[in-house]
Amino acid sequence: MAELVPFGAAALRELLPEWRGLWAGARDREPFSHPDWVAAYLAAFEPAATPVVLTARLDGALIAVVPLIRESTILDGMPVRLLRALMNPHTFRVHLLTADGALQAPCAICDYLTSMPGWDVLAIPRFARDGFPDHLGHCTSCHGFPTMVLAQFATRYMLMPDAASARGDEPWLTDVRPELKKKLRKGWRQVLEEYRIEPALETHDAADPAQLARFYDIEASGWKGREGTAIKCAPDTLQFYNAVAQAFAAEGALRLHFLGVGNVTIAGAFSLVAGDQMFVLKWSYDETYSKYRPGNLLAREMLRDASQHGIRTVDLGGDADYKREWTSRTREHESLYVFNNTMYGKLLYAYRARLRPYVGELIRSARKRPA
């Protein structure tokens, strides 16, 4: 059975304990489906939005939670009543929460969509492939809903060896290219030779305002600060990270890492833990020390620390060039669009799936022609 729950205070108070329990017990959980992540996102970035939550239950027990925003907007130049998943503008990722092995959840939500009024398009962007949205898309397609699944981007991740399979002096660097290992050794040696002291890692799991400010300062010290994209440059972004830090620290799931040389902090990172996974959301370094590649030195020590504390997967985020030196492992992400099985929904689908690519190709061809 599925239902649509308003994101009002009363309804949310009733749902929150079950939502937290579902998140804590799911093996395939990510920070992006935690109720406090969702609440922090709404408060910081879309306080005027109309949020709702699609839920699925089996024998009364909660087995799936799909937080959405309901809005009337323009999609491809056409007015639509849109239901969209919450995509944070900084991580650009979505995760939908389901109980382990809850194969009934996508079908229950799909059945509910057939009779739910007031929507034209359901959009779930940038989720990890082979997750719950993929199964939902299969169900909606089988139920006759026009459905599109589009490839989007990849994220990089590393696997930490367990104690039984660990080999070598630094088994947490198994995925790392030999060239990068040489650079790490060289940078470490240069710091030691110049400052007569080894870099040291600090790890904090409390949302201490002083430590958070320390991270925000170092993140804003380089190009992010100059371009105005650092966390502390935008009040709504700063509000979001502070709220997330407080919420996850209360569960022991916040990690602030700093790499220091003596009393000087040369690099820092903001990460969240979900089960045996660590998600690195932000990291930065002091460009004064760029010749030592302090970001890489910090990453090596973070991996060492993660491996020694039971973390088995370290998610590095988007597929940037410098992350390819660390690992070849990728996780593909897709976007799902489900169009209502109405005349207008079919029209929207026909335009987006068939006519729009054709029009786009005509425009590109016209631009290539000589004047």
118-166 pLDDT per residue, tens: 999 999 999 999 889 999 999 999 999 999 999 998 999 999 987 555 5
| Confidence band for 47, pLDDT divided at 50, 70 and 90 | very high
pLDDT of 365: 60
Specify the pairing of strand 147-159 against strand 330-339: antiparallel
Q: What would the pLDDT profile of 284-309 be if each residue is shown by its tens digit?
A: 999 999 999 999 999 999 999 999 99
CA pair distance 256, 183, nearest whole angstrom: 24
pLDDT in tens, 62-117: 999 999 999 999 988 889 999 999 987 777 889 999 998 888 899 999 999 999 99
Answer yes or no: is pLDDT of 353 > 90.
Answer: no
> What does the block give as tokens for 22?
């579902």
In whole angstroms, give the CA distance from residue 138 to residue 86: 21
pLDDT in tens, 190-199: 999 999 999 9
Res 191: pLDDT? 93
Q: Pick from 81, 80, 145, 59: which is nearest to 110 by CA?
A: 145
pLDDT tens by residue, 301-349 = 999 999 999 999 999 998 888 888 899 999 999 999 999 999 999 999 9
Mean pLDDT of 19-38: 94
Pick the CATH number of 161-311 from 2.60.120.620, 3.30.470.10, 1.25.40.10, 3.40.630.30: 3.40.630.30
User: Rounded to whole angstroms, how far apart are CA atoms 286 and 220?
Assistant: 9
Nearest Cα residue to 7 out of 42, 59, 56, 45: 42
CA torsion, ordered 101, 104, 108, 111, to nearest 10 deg: 140
Domains 2-154+332-368 and 161-311 share a fold: yes
Percent of the chain with pLDDT strictly greater than 70: 94
Each domain of the chain, given as residue ranges in start order, spans: 2-154+332-368, 161-311
When the pLDDT of each residue in the chain is averaged and rounded to a whole number, the result is 90
251 token code pair: 């569960």
Instruction: Classify 293 in phi/psi space as left (phi over 0), alpha (psi -120 to 50) or beta.
Output: left
pTM for this structure?
0.91
The C-alpha atoms of residue 196 and residue 262 are separated, in whole angstroms, by: 10
How far, in Å, CA of 358 to CA of 352, rounded?
Answer: 10
- pLDDT given for residue 222 in this prediction: 86
In the predicted structure, residue 40 carries a pLDDT above the cut 80: yes
**Is it true that domain 2-154+332-368 has CATH number 3.40.630.30?**
yes
